[in-house]
């Protein structure tokens, strides 16, 4: 009980992430059991332990439930327009290459309306860390089909089941040229945190997909309570470090592959620009 | 030097060090020139994947602490509008150049028009104020681009430079003065304790100081309705407060922002109202008309938005007619009518775009009116 | 199933002991901490917090091994553990 804790401690300690969150804005807007909070906390822990100068570290989000993340981090933080977190972040980074720029947003934001920006930022190897909370639907607007919704899943705009195929996000990131690609669920939060930390410290375009439940909109329509979703994350996932990239569909009727899929180096956009375009006297 | 090149040089002289672009006729030359010149002065040019990305990167560039800009034409201007709204709402200084071409849609890409003037005013959703300048020559594009940066920094807001294909592609002599003769303003910088800093607490002029990312102010910048701290507040009161401030910082400084140029207004019976390339037509027409004994004056709008409402209203009291000259089917004409409020006759000399208006067309209308 | 995740601090695990702190009013009652605590020492409290959720409470404080899992799985920044001296040798 907390009461016993208080008895033995002169003062209740603060939550270890207290300094990094805008605690005057907590509780956040996310629903009970929503996976965003856990993924967000993992990102904050990764930032806090990365050894980076946090004053030079910013978070950029787009629109949607996950897009609210920027509003809770006590760093320079930018809540932009729908789909445009990556190009905004690109300008931020190019304008001041000393900044560490982390993009935290949702699957709808980054891969439907913002899909074009994602592939181009990966192609040019912009030095960004992009964390995508993938909850398989548009949560903020009430649970519509997304570019990540599994085949046959029910959403408010696919009441008979989704007739379309979802993106394989790590494959897309790899094919576009990302130098770091990993996927975890919020249950695998230690591995997730380690990978985010690695991604932030690494230069170049890094992408981390985090599977997290949206119990209120996706879960409810697909008969999954949030705890059940987490148990599914436990039972129907397998960690593989050198998988076939085309084998990474999110299909929980089979097994979903987690792990660190890409970790390579190539010159970043800024390095190439400096070498190619800045002719030094 | 062409108008487009003069625009790029003006931006560089103003201290612009980030350009996020996307090719589009007839604005491409601005991007081309910037791609060559920016790295020479320590800046960065990037060609983004579309105009939406271009303007988003410009907003990011502005928050990184750089003076940032983009340049486009009608179709790209349409694509940029949502993020122009973000720029207004988050009070992000930046400059957007629209080298206008004929629309709607793809229109006549290589031909000029002035038909995006209302879009410049109202293109993004919601209520807001905007600043738009309309230069009429390559030399003026150079200076107005600098002015646009200064206004955007002074008032923390996106500013448009509304040129057109004709001035943009016209080659003219441009004098670039030495750097020490150019006034370059910067956004007001915050002072005092960083932990108590309020991102949207206005100082003098109704404008709040603006830090850059990485300076330790831990700012939160959102396009949601927000309070002085920058935090989202979902209430009617917060919305009213934010909008009052956004509008007041422009409305209360009209004397500083609105620039016009008057020719022969003292004895004028009819006054031409025009801007941009059509101002050259109007000036020529005024001289011809005066030579023919007609008492014609000319009011040139250097700032088109905010609109010089009072200036027009005062003229409407005493002249026989106001004749708006513009390459469209009546946009600023509507605004002139609104300001005149029935106190004088208002006429339009305009067409659907693709070529300049000839002074003869203006003279023909003047003859009818006088 | 409870031990599917081995605590990170394996080198200190023999002596590790933790003290759990719960910021009750932040909790939204998702139950993740309760379900996935490797020592199963948490349970929903009978009472409600200010928002009307049942927060967790610590059933067996001496059982906490300071693995921080409750802390990192909680979406609400509502629970965390800190290192504590081993429990008094009563048992
Ligand atoms: S709607 Fe879904 S994604 Fe949005 S906060 Fe609620 S649970 Fe999370
Ligand atoms: S730190 Fe939390 S999860 Fe780990 S044993 Fe203690 S109460 Fe359980
Ligand atoms: S994980 Fe957090 S929000 Fe969920 S029950 Fe535990 S303390 Fe409450």
pLDDT by residue for chain B (370 residues), tens only, comes to: 999 999 999 999 999 999 999 999 999 999 999 999 999 999 999 999 999 999 999 999 999 999 999 999 999 999 999 999 999 999 999 999 999 999 999 999 999 999 999 999 999 999 999 999 999 999 999 999 999 999 999 999 999 999 999 999 999 999 999 999 999 999 999 998 999 999 999 988 899 999 999 999 999 999 999 999 999 999 999 999 999 999 999 999 999 999 999 999 999 999 999 999 999 999 999 999 999 999 999 999 999 999 999 999 999 999 999 999 999 999 999 999 999 999 999 999 999 999 999 999 999 999 999 8
pLDDT at C89: 61
A33, C35 contact by CB (below 8 A): no
Longest CA–CA span in chain B (Å) reads: 68
Helix B28-37 to helix B3-14 angle (10° resolution) is 40
Q: What is the CATH number of domain B260-369?
A: 3.40.50.920
Contacts with A35 from chain C: Cβ below 8 Å = 75
Query: What does pLDDT average to over chain A?
Result: 95
Interface pTM (ipTM) of the complex? 0.97
Residue C15: pLDDT over 70: no
Q: Does A7 map to a domain?
A: no
CA A161-A163-A164 angle, to 5 degrees, is 125
Q: Which residue of C has its CA nearest to A16?
A: C80
Q: Does A108 map to a domain?
A: yes
pLDDT at A108: 97
Q: In which residue are the tokens 């879009």 written?
A: B119
Compute the distance from residue A219 Cα to the ligand 1 centre, in Å.
10
Tally of domains in chain C:
1
Contact across the interface for A230 and C20, Cβ inside 8 Å: no
Q: Where are the domains of chain B?
A: 3-181, 194-255, 260-369
**CATH number, domain with residue A238:** 3.40.50.970
Residue A165: pLDDT over 90: yes
Q: How far apart are CA C67 and CA C56, in angstroms?
A: 17
The CB of C22 under 6 Å from ligand 2? The reply is: no
Alpha helices, H only, A179-245: 189-201, 220-221, 226-235
* Among A1, A18, A37, beta carbon nearest to C58: A1
B44: CB partners within 8 A, 6+ apart:
A94, A95, A273, B17, B18, B19, B38, B61, B66
**CATH number, domain with residue C64:** 3.30.70.20
Range of the domain at C68: 18-83
Q: Does C91 map to a domain?
A: no
Best residue among C21, C52, C74, C80 to mutate for probing ligand 3's pocket (most ligand atoms within 8 Å of CB) is: C74
Contact across the interface for A37 and C51, Cβ inside 8 Å: no
Residue C91: pLDDT over 50: no
Options 3.30.365.10, 2.60.120.10, 3.40.50.720, 3.40.50.970; which CATH number does B3-181 get? Answer: 3.40.50.970
How close, in Å, is residue B221 to chain A by CA atoms?
5
Reported as a single tens digit per residue, the pLDDT across A13-26 is 999 999 999 999 99
pLDDT at B204: 80
Reported as a single tens digit per residue, the pLDDT across B174-190 is 999 999 999 999 999 99
pTM metric for this prediction: 0.95
How close, in Å, is residue B35 to chain A by CA atoms?
9
Query: What does pLDDT average to over chain B?
Result: 97
Residue B138, φ and ψ in degrees, nearest 5: -60, -45
Q: Does C47 map to a domain?
A: yes
Give me the mean pLDDT over the A50-60 stretch.
97
Q: How far apart are CA B308 and CA B296, in angstroms?
A: 19
Q: How confident is the model at residue C6 (pLDDT cuts 50, 70, 90)?
A: low
Compute the distance from residue B182 Cα to the ligand 3 centre, in Å.
60
Tally of domains in chain A:
1
Q: Does C56 map to a domain?
A: yes
pLDDT at A280: 63
* Among A2, A27, A227, beta carbon nearest to C76: A27
H helix or E strand, kind and range, residue B324? strand B321-325
Compute the distance from residue C17 Cα to the ligand 2 centre, in Å.
9
Reported as a single tens digit per residue, the pLDDT across A63-92 is 999 999 999 999 999 999 999 999 999 999
Give me the mean pLDDT over the A134-145 stretch.
97
Question: Which of A133 and C91 is assigned the larger pLDDT?
Answer: A133
Compute the distance from residue A216 Cα to the ligand 1 centre, in Å.
6
Q: Does A11 map to a domain?
A: no
Q: Does C44 map to a domain?
A: yes
SS3 content of chain B, % helix, strand, coil (to 5): 40, 20, 35
How close, in Å, is residue B281 to chain A by CA atoms?
40
Q: Does C78 map to a domain?
A: yes
pLDDT at C1: 38
Q: Does C5 map to a domain?
A: no
How many Cα atoms occupy the beta-carbon half-sphere of B9 within 13 Å?
Answer: 19
pLDDT at C5: 63
Q: How confident is the model at residue A222 (pLDDT cuts 50, 70, 90)?
A: very high
Range of the domain at A246: 20-280
């Amino acid at each position: 009980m907390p009461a016993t804790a208080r008895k033995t401690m002169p003062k209740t300690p603060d939550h270890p992430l207290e300094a990094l969150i805008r605690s005057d804005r907590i509780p956040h807007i996310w629903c009970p059991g929503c996976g965003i909070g856990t993924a967000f906390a993992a990102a904050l822990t990764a930032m806090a332990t990365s050894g980076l100068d946090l004053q030079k570290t910013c978070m950029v989000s787009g629109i949607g439930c996950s897009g609210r993340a920027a509003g809770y981090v006590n760093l320079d933080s930018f809540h932009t327009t729908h789909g445009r977190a990556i190009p905004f972040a690109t300008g931020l980074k190019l304008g001041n290459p000393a900044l560490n720029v982390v993009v935290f947003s949702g699957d709808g934001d980054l891969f439907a309306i913002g899909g074009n920006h994602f592939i181009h930022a990966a192609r040019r190897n912009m030095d960004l860390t992009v964390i995508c909370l993938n909850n398989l639907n548009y949560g903020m607007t009430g649970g519509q089909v997304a570019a990540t919704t599994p085949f046959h899943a029910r959403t408010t705009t696919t009441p008979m089941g989704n007739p379309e195929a979802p993106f394989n996000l790590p494959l897309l990131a790899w094919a576009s040229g990302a130098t770091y690609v990993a996927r975890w669920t919020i249950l695998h939060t230690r591995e997730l945190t380690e990978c985010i930390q690695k991604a932030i410290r690494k230069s170049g375009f890094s992408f981390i997909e985090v599977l997290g439940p949206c119990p209120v909109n996706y879960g409810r329509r697909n008969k999954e309570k949030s705890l059940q979703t987490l148990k599914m994350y436990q039972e129907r996932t397998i960690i593989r470090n050198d998988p076939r990239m085309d084998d990474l569909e999110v299909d929980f009727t089979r097994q979903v592959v987690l792990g660190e899929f890409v970790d390579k180096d190539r010159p970043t956009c800024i390095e190439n620009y400096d070498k190619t375009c800045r002719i030094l006297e | 030097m062409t108008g487009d090149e003069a625009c790029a040089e003006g931006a560089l002289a103003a201290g612009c060090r980030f350009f996020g672009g996307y090719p589009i006729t007839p604005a491409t030359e601005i991007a081309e020139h910037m791609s060559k010149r920016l790295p020479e002065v320590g800046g960065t040019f990037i060609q983004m994947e579309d105009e939406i990305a271009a303007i988003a990167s410009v907003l990011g560039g502005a928050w990184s602490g750089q003076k940032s800009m983009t340049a486009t034409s009608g179709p790209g201007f349409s694509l940029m509008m949502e993020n122009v709204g973000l720029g207004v709402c988050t009070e992000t200084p930046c400059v957007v150049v629209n080298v206008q071409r004929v629309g709607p849609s793809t229109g006549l890409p290589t031909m000029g028009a002035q038909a995006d003037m209302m879009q410049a005013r109202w293109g993004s959703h919601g209520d807001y104020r905007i600043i738009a300048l309309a230069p009429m020559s390559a030399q003026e594009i150079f200076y107005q681009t600098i002015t646009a940066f200064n206004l955007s920094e002074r008032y923390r807001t996106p500013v448009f430079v509304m040129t057109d294909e004709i001035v943009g592609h016209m080659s003219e002599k441009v004098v670039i003065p030495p750097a020490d003769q150019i006034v370059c303003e910067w956004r007001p910088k915050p002072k005092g304790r960083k932990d108590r800093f309020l991102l949207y607490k206005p100082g003098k002029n109704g404008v709040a100081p603006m830090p850059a990312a990485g300076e330790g102010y831990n700012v939160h910048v959102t396009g949601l309705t927000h309070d002085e701290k920058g935090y989202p507040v979902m209430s009617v009161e917060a919305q009213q407060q934010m909008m009052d401030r956004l509008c007041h910082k422009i409305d209360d400084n009209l004397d500083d922002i609105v620039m016009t140029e008057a020719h022969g207004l003292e004895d004028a019976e009819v006054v031409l109202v025009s801007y941009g390339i059509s101002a050259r037509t109007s000036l020529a027409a005024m001289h011809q008309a005066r030579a023919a004994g007609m008492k014609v004056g000319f009011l040139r709008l250097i700032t088109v938005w905010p609109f010089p409402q009072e200036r027009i209203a005062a003229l409407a009291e005493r002249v026989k007619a106001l004749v708006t000259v513009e390459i469209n089917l009546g946009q600023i004409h509507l605004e002139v009518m609104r300001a005149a409020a029935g106190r004088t006759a208002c006429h339009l000399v305009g067409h659907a775009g693709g070529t300049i208006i000839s002074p003869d067309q203006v003279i023909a209308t003047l003859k009818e009116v006088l | 199933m409870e031990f599917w995740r081995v605590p990170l601090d394996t080198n200190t695990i023999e002596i590790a002991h933790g003290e759990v702190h719960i910021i009750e009013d932040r909790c939204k009652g998702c139950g993740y901490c309760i379900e996935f605590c490797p020592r199963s020492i948490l349970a929903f409290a009978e009472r409600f917090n200010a928002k009307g959720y049942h927060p967790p409470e610590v059933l067996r404080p001496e059982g906490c091994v300071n693995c921080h899992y409750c802390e990192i799985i909680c979406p609400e920044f509502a629970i965390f553990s800190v290192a504590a001296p081993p429990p008094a040798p009563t048992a």
